[in-house]
Amino acid sequence: MHYCTLLVDFDGTLFDTRNAIRKTLEALARRRGVAPFAVHLIDQVIDQGLSLVDMLAVLLGPADGLELPAWAADYRAIYNGGLGVAESAPYPGIETILQQMHEAGKELFIVSNKGEVSIQATLEQYHLGSYFRGVVAAVGDRAPKPGPESFFEQIKPRMRHGDNARVLVIGDTEIDLGYARSLGVASCWAAYGYGLASRCEVLAPDFVILTAMDLLRLDDCRA
């Protein structure tokens, strides 16, 4: 694999967090005194890779005076209160993959629309943080994907080389593949994650992996 800089998604690519998101939304509904969110709607917003605020906007629907930032703050308080880490797990083989890539001299960045606090807590729990040169995550309502600004502001200045042809975006949803397109770099669709095939295949990823371990044999996974 000639790619030197790997921009890796978190939810649905490195970690299975579906149960953590579901349980946090259940607790959020109880805290806010509203009816539980429909499970199929929760799965729908997870599969789309939406940011937290966009996810809540879909689940709550239009409402006059609705304070999405307050809902988002409550969600983060619940998720970051321990539930998120407890209900998340790395996909099989993730530590082995990261170790081998690190030893091969790859530089890895996490780029996620998730909040940084929750990502760092999970990495610390599983002792995986040392494999990454940086974590680029959502700040407030500003999500780093799919727009290209996060790459040029936070990643490219830290890259060991300046060649975008050696950058690969790895992720499971249309948001990730759209991010790669906005940067003009290669993409790898993690088809084992949450993204819908109908939305991801049309974006023509350069690689398709069916398990996380396929990252170690990427040349065999060209789309």
pLDDT, one tens digit per residue, over 109-126 is 999 999 999 999 999 999
Residues 120 and 41 in one domain: no
User: How far, in Å, are 13, 43, 46, 77, 163 from residue 182 at the CA level?
Assistant: 20, 26, 22, 32, 16
Residues 193 and 102 in one domain: yes
Q: What is the pLDDT of residues 155-187, one digit of tens each?
A: 999 999 889 999 999 999 999 999 999 999 999
Q: How far apart are the first and last CA of the chain?
A: 15
Residues 46 and 106 in one domain: no
Residues 103 and 211 in one domain: yes
Residue 220 has pLDDT above 80, yes or no: no
Q: Which two tokens stand for residue 188?
A: 């790898």
Number of domains in the chain: 2
Residues 99 and 201 in one domain: yes
Residue 64 has pLDDT above 60, yes or no: no
DSSP SS3 for 203: helix
Phi, psi torsion values for 79, nearest 5 degrees: -60, -45
Residues 162 and 53 in one domain: no
Residue 218 has pLDDT above 90, yes or no: no
Residues 142 and 217 in one domain: yes
Residue 27 has pLDDT above 90, yes or no: yes
Residues 49 and 126 in one domain: no
Residues 111 and 34 in one domain: no
Residues 104 and 205 in one domain: yes
CATH number at residue 174: 3.40.50.1000
pTM: 0.94
Q: Which amino acid is at 183?
A: L
The whole domain housing 55 covers: 18-86
Q: What angle do CA 75, 192, 19 make, to 5 degrees?
A: 30
Q: Going by DSSP bridges, is the β-strand pair 15-16/89-90 parallel, antiparallel, or unpaired?
A: antiparallel
